[in-house]
Amino acid sequence: MAGNFSITKQAGLARVGRLKIGKGVAKTPFFMPIATRGAVKGISALEVLNIGYEVVLGNTYHLWLKPGEKFIARAGGLSRLMNWPGLTLTDSGGFQVFSLGARSLKRFGQSKIKISEKGVRFTDPTTGKEYFMSPEKSIDIQLTLGSNIIMCLDECPPYPASYTEMEKAVKRTTDWARRCRNYFDRKIKENNLKDKVGRPLIFCIIQGGIYQDLREKSARELSAMDWDGFAIGGVAVGEPREKLQKIIEWTRPFLPENKPRYLMGLGRPEELVRAVRAGIDMFDCVIPTREGRHGRLFVFNRKKAKLDEKGEFYQAINISNKRFREDLSSLDTGCRCYFCQNHNLAYLHHLFSIGDSLAQRFASIHNLCFYYELIERLRMEIEKKFVKSLATEINFKG
């Protein structure tokens, strides 16, 4: 399944590319804002688009439960319902189901989910209604939602999972991926989408926790199948942060060079810098919007041009701190978000202090602008290094 992804420039392991999906194209590396239930919290689709984002992430589990995939299909699909002109990626729903099980085990002493080779049976904690999610059901929901990038159902045990538990999860993830692939191919053929613009992409998800041999096993088994892209899962489930780079190092050598790599659920700005330089192409995370809603904002150190991997190129401030109460300076004169260009820190401090929802909007949009600029700067860094290495090579040959 070649031709959807092309690498245009590369510097070391880092690469710049183009991911083509139907009539849409997304530049890589890219970051996806989270539209869990069909909305990036408090922000319109137009505002997300105006920042420059090309892809948003929706949550299969939540959209299935409410408002339901059939209603969304009648509305013209998730993009049409949101009035989002860009591309959408939907996760499989597996992470949310297994998180539900972990929370219920902690709260009630027993899990509210039952896992078998067939799939996962769980109870909606809000309504008490029982649901069953199988690999085929997950793909079916995502196709019905009209997603552009579809994720396979995987088993994602929370940290800390024992070696035996993770070994079983890796086996089940591979088995479920095969079923997802077969069902996806069948539905694409039934709908005559194989050679048409409307065909979505399908990604598998690599598991294995913090165990090197299981990460390698999962990557080897899944890379033997035909996928449009490869996701590294199970990296935002409570594992030690120092393990993240190791997980990428263990996994990457077994993945095809000509397919996009997606690190799920990460992360902080410095983690994105390290991951892009390690060869990752796609990211999503709740951090920019969630932190924004709580009054925490990311600000570039404009005097420091280099994006270091320790995170010294930025600072995170808490706008509720009393030192901002009468601060009439701009948050970041180099930021192009509406707040930074038109208001001062004291005003945002005031809005948070009175609980006005405008505060959360300003902060969330600013943080999304920060993340977008970060990815843009990383992309430019790769392009400059590529051009420099090319010039050096030409001079050497000359």
Q: What is the pLDDT of residues 9-27, one digit of tens each?
A: 999 999 999 999 988 999 9
Provide the sign of the torsion angle of the four alpha carbons 366, 367, 368, 374, taken in this order: positive
Task: Identify the H or E element spanning 26.
Answer: strand 24-28
Q: How far is residue 138's CA from residue 365's CA, in Å, rounded to a whole number?
A: 31
Q: What confidence score (pLDDT) does residue 23 get?
A: 85
Q: What confidence score (pLDDT) does residue 106 get?
A: 55
- Which of 144-153, 155-164, 204-213, 373-382 has the lowest average pLDDT? 155-164
Q: What confidence score (pLDDT) does residue 397 get?
A: 56
Catalytic residues: 91, 284
Q: How far is residue 91's CA from residue 16's CA, in Å, rounded to a whole number?
A: 24
Average pLDDT of the residues of the chain: 93
Q: What is the pLDDT of residues 36-49, one digit of tens each?
A: 999 999 999 999 99
Q: What is the pLDDT of residues 94-107, one digit of tens each?
A: 888 877 655 555 55
> Which class does domain 5-285 fall in?
alpha beta
Instruction: Name the residue with higher pLDDT: 388 or 42.
Output: 42
- Averaged pLDDT, 368-381: 98
Q: What is the pLDDT of residues 192-231, one digit of tens each?
A: 876 556 799 999 999 999 999 999 999 999 999 999 999 9
What is the full DSSP assignment across 165-234?
Answer: HHHHHHHHHHHHHHHHHHHHHHHHHHTT-TTSTTPPEEEEEE--TT-HHHHHHHHHHHHTS--SEEEE-S
Q: What confidence score (pLDDT) does residue 158 get?
A: 83
* Nearest Cα residue to 122 out of 110, 106, 140: 110
Task: Check whether 395 has a pLDDT greater than 80.
Answer: no
Q: What is the pLDDT of residues 65-87, one digit of tens each?
A: 999 999 999 999 999 999 999 99
Residue ranges of the domains in the chain? 5-285, 296-378
* Nearest Cα residue to 88 out of 135, 153, 143, 43: 143
Q: What confidence score (pLDDT) does residue 398 get?
A: 54
Q: What confidence score (pLDDT) does residue 98 get?
A: 74
